[in-house]
Amino acid sequence: MRVDNYGFFAISAEYGYNREVVLIFSQQNPMQSQSLEKTLGKSMAWMSFPIFELVLLRWFQHAFLKLKLGFPGFTDYELLLPAPLAWIAFTLALEQAIPIKFTWSWRRTFLHGFFLGAFLLVNIFYQSLEPKLGLHTLTVWWSVLLLVVLSAFGLFVSLGEVFKNPNRWAIIPCAIMAFSLVLNLKFGAELWTHLLSPLEEMVKHFLMWAGLDQILVMALKKKFLWVQHPQLSILIGQGCSGLDGILFYISAFVIFSCLNWSRFSVQGWMLSFAYGILFFVLLNVLRIVFLFVAGIFCVRYVGAQRGLSWISGIFHVHAGYLFYGLGLAAYFQSLMTVMTWDKKEASQLLKVPRWS
């Protein structure tokens, strides 16, 4: 049995990872797709240099200095998709208030070069400084890295103008989006134990509807969901629970609703939020069922070894991203469609039903 650090245990199958989302936000006019594409282009251009620089620094640190630093319990891989998507969301929020302007100055370039040089020196002499400074060495390392990242983002866009933007508040939910998987791994254990029983019943019924018999679905030790078939058996833990995807959705919904608050009533937004939570819970169940069924077919038609390799290395990661990406895009697109309707029609759709 192979044990994954992120909480997905596999008996017959190998481990899974996480998935994240593709995000669509409303512009001033939801139908202005060209404006949306332009904003997405700006966001990609803005974060391209910091990402490229961080990749080079990571390679230099690992390949040449043999240093592996960070917080215990997670790595930068947990930020691989959530962080760029969160930055796109932040850019979209800023653009709704004041368009982002790309500028360059010697002062910002010199400042970034200074911080970058300081960070390289801290890395080069890290092992020499650690015996003298102890844990303070890691604090210095993180502080200088933060300055490098901030100055890299401010190299071509003035951070002063960013913090004057009325929508600068979006940095808070966007930070939660970026660290959604990390927060799930750190603080989601208690919630995961309460969700195991309802998830067990939903997965069991969906697999029965898919025509699979000889299925055993069971919650084990309030930590894992065991799904067993004669050809495939998996244990799903906290890291593959889908709670990070729901947290990502909640953060995205906060930004989306604040930017479009006047379009719905308070009741309408509350009902929209509840619909979204229900939608993503069901989507997570469908993701588990799809991956399990795909794993069975892979094992059945290409052999156990190759099938398990495919489902663990390809299906789980990419299918998870696909499910959550399409799901979030479809959900926000449906909300934007409702926004274009007549207010009376929209209020009827988002009206809380009553039963006599």
Q: What is the DSSP string of 12-58?
A: SS--------------SSTT-HHHHHHHHHHHHHHHHHHHHHHHHHH
Closest Cα to residue 246, out of 79, 2, 20?
A: 20
Asked whether the predicted pLDDT for residue 187 surpasses 90, the reply is: no
- How many other C-beta atoms lie within 10 A of the C-beta of residue 219? 18
Please give the order of strands across the beta sheet that includes 216-220: 2-3, 9-10, 232-236, 224-229, 216-220
Q: Mean pLDDT across the stretch 288-305? A: 79
Residue 350, SS3 per DSSP: coil
pLDDT at 350: 60
Rounded Cα gap, residues 284 and 290, in angstroms: 10
Is pLDDT at 23 greater than 70 in this prediction? no
From the list 275, 277, 288, the residue with the least C-alpha distance to 224 is: 288
- List the structure tokens of 184: 């799930």
Please tell me the predicted confidence (pLDDT) of residue 4: 38
* pLDDT surpasses 80 at 347: no
Q: Are 145 and 34 in contact (CB under 8 A)?
A: no
Angle at alpha carbon of residue 325, lines to 159 and 267, rounded to 5°: 80
Helix 243-259 crosses helix 171-178 at what angle (to 10 degrees)? 160
Of 105-119, 184-198, 323-337, 338-352, the one with minimum mean pLDDT is: 338-352
d(CA 102, CA 91): 13
For tokens 């500028």, name the residue. 103
* First-residue to last-residue Cα distance in the chain: 54
Band (1; pLDDT cuts 50, 70, 90): very low
For the ranges 26-35, 36-45, 109-118, 303-312, the maximum mean pLDDT occurs at 109-118
Closest among 214, 233, 230 to 12, alpha carbons compared: 233
309 by Cβ neighbours in 10 Å (0-12 / 13-18 / 19+) ranks as middle
pTM (predicted TM-score): 0.76
Distance CA 126, CA 165 (A): 38
